[in-house]
Amino acid sequence: MKDLSAMDNTSNEAFRLLKQLSVHLEQEDKYQPREKGLILIESTAENDNTICPKSRNLKVEDLWSLTNFFGLSMETFVLAVNILDRFLAIMKVKPKHLSCISVCCFQLAAQVVEEDCDIPSIHDVIRISQCKCTVSDIKRMEKIISEKLHFEFKATTALTFLHLYHTIVLCHSSERKEVLSLEKLEAQLKACNCRLIFSKAKPSVLALCLLTLEVETLKSLELFEIALRVQKHSKVIELDSL
């Protein structure tokens, strides 16, 4: 099977996309939540002292509601979840603080992704989220999260790879663009983000799984062959682990 770089489409755009993919593949481990911390949360029963999967998942649903309410991008939502999981995976957090933490993650993600004019005010976010914390609480928690994550917020996420894979496939395909729906892929990723278990997956693998499953449902041999080439280029050996 030919590599993507050896295919007929050798345009500057195709080359640029593959180079970009290689950069993100090198960076993704840096922004992966600590697996030991995620496993600890996964094994925690529901109680008042520690975060359990249910409480984390509910807060991610709240993050999605905030994203929708303020009309922000999918990128902001996915980044907010990434920041939240990375923080929870390294810190012992009491459930009573989770609302404040999730709001801070939302604000931090919005500051990275959105235009300044589109970033909601802290007062509005507190009011809509009903998190029962003050502006001072938010500022203090933002400082803690920023320091613990070393101010590294512009993360490589599964959405990064999903967008890249989608563009690469279309770049090498003769199919109509609307055949492979990015909106549908994003909706599937959103559902995965709302389950803690998927945070343990490498972003590149999760995105490739979603892409491959969608291509299989389309029953397009051309798209399937390109997806296999993307898998080979990404050096992903096994997708069934998800």
Task: Give me the mean pLDDT over the 3-10 stretch.
Answer: 52
Residues 144 and 37 occupy one common structural domain:
yes
Residue 239 has pLDDT above 70, yes or no: no
Residues 38 and 121 occupy one common structural domain:
yes
Q: Which of the two residues, 238 and 128, has the higher pLDDT score? A: 128
Tell me which residue of 25, 38, 66 sits closest to 195, measured CA to CA: 38
Q: CA 217 from chain center: how many Å?
A: 23
Model confidence band, residue 12 (pLDDT cutoffs 50, 70, 90)? confident
Give the residue from 91, 123, 148 where a domain finishes: 148
Let me know: does 128 contact 95? Beta carbons within 8 Å: no
For residues 69 and 90, what is the distance between their CA atoms, to the nearest angstrom?
A: 30
Quick one: pLDDT at residue 218? 87
Q: Determine, yes or no, domain membership for 52.
A: yes
Q: Which residues constitute the domain of residue 129? A: 32-148
pLDDT tens, 180-214? Answer: 899 999 999 999 999 999 999 999 999 999 999 99
Residues 16 and 37 occupy one common structural domain:
no
Q: Determine, yes or no, domain membership for 241.
A: no
For residues 49 and 68, what is the distance between their CA atoms, to the nearest angstrom?
A: 30
Return the structure tokens found at 8: 């007929």
Residues 50 and 75 occupy one common structural domain:
yes
Quick one: pLDDT at residue 176? 66
Residues 126 and 65 occupy one common structural domain:
yes
DSSP state of 32: S
Q: Determine, yes or no, domain membership for 238.
A: no
pLDDT tens, 83-119? Answer: 999 999 999 999 999 999 999 999 999 999 999 999 9
Residue 173 has pLDDT above 70, yes or no: yes
Tell me which residue of 93, 125, 92, 95 sits closest to 111, measured CA to CA: 125
Quick one: pLDDT at residue 42? 94
Residues 10 and 73 occupy one common structural domain:
no
- The pTM of this model reads 0.91
User: Strand, coil or helix: what is 2?
Assistant: coil
Model confidence band, residue 221 (pLDDT cutoffs 50, 70, 90)? confident
Let me know: does 204 contact 232? Beta carbons within 8 Å: no
Residues 39 and 139 occupy one common structural domain:
yes
What is the CATH number for 59?
Answer: 1.10.472.10
Model confidence band, residue 175 (pLDDT cutoffs 50, 70, 90)? low
Residue 5 has pLDDT above 70, yes or no: no
Give the residue from 87, 117, 148 where a domain finishes: 148
**Number of domains within the chain:** 2
Give the residue from 101, 123, 148 where a domain finishes: 148
Quick one: pLDDT at residue 1? 46
Quick one: pLDDT at residue 66? 98
Residues 129 and 222 occupy one common structural domain:
no
